[in-house]
Amino acid sequence: MILIATLPAIIVFFWLKSRKSPITLPWFLLSFAAGIISFIVTAVIQTFFVQKNDEGVWPLLFNIFIRIALIEEASRIIAIIPFFNAAKNRRNNTAFGAAIGLIAGLGFAVIESAYYGIANLNIALLRIFTAVPLHAACGIRAGTAVFVAPQHPAKAFFLFIYSILIHGAYNLMIVSPAIPSFLAIPTALIAFFASIYYLSDS
């Protein structure tokens, strides 16, 4: 299960190498581990939020955008901050930060996909095409936000809020009976391909 969920991360590693990315294997493994840590942090924090089963729009939006999206994206930011402190010679390289975020997002997605896929292999396979690109897209924005924050705090805040909105919209499409759930697939893919821009040295 974990091997299947890890395949996108392995593909991304070789893709980054083909782009002559400064992400070496140690940076990759550390970033991947940071994603796993962010998943654990998220799981711990979410235990303090009682999931409301009340019917209505506001309990649903709170659960999706605050309990899930906000906490997951904040945990991702926290997990990436140490990389900014460690990469002193790359602090001005937002593409490096975006790549760190991408890998951390994949680390999160691997554990989450394996967790949900234990009961059903089809769920793990489905998440490769939905949740993986979603977390990759949000991770890229989170990594970019951390690395641009000192010079452009407003941009960093925008990227953080943007990732929450993308994440929340994706979850809303999955759980809301009023929205066709298949729309989550193009939403995740569009969010990912739109975020590849941040991986370029510009």
C-alpha distance from residue 190 to each of 26, 73, 200, 202 (Å): 29, 18, 17, 21
For residue 76, the SS3 value is helix
**Spatial distance between the Cα atoms of 66 and 63, rounded to a whole number of angstroms:** 6
Give the per-residue pLDDT at 71: 96
Give the per-residue pLDDT at 202: 45
Domain that residue 50 falls in: 2-199
DSSP state letters, 133-170:
HHHHHHHHHHHHHHHHTTT-HHHHHHHHHHHHHHHHHH
Which parts of the chain sit beneath pLDDT 70? 1-2, 5, 50-55, 117-127, 201-202
Question: What's the number of domains the chain is made of?
Answer: 1
**Spatial distance between the Cα atoms of 106 and 114, rounded to a whole number of angstroms:** 12
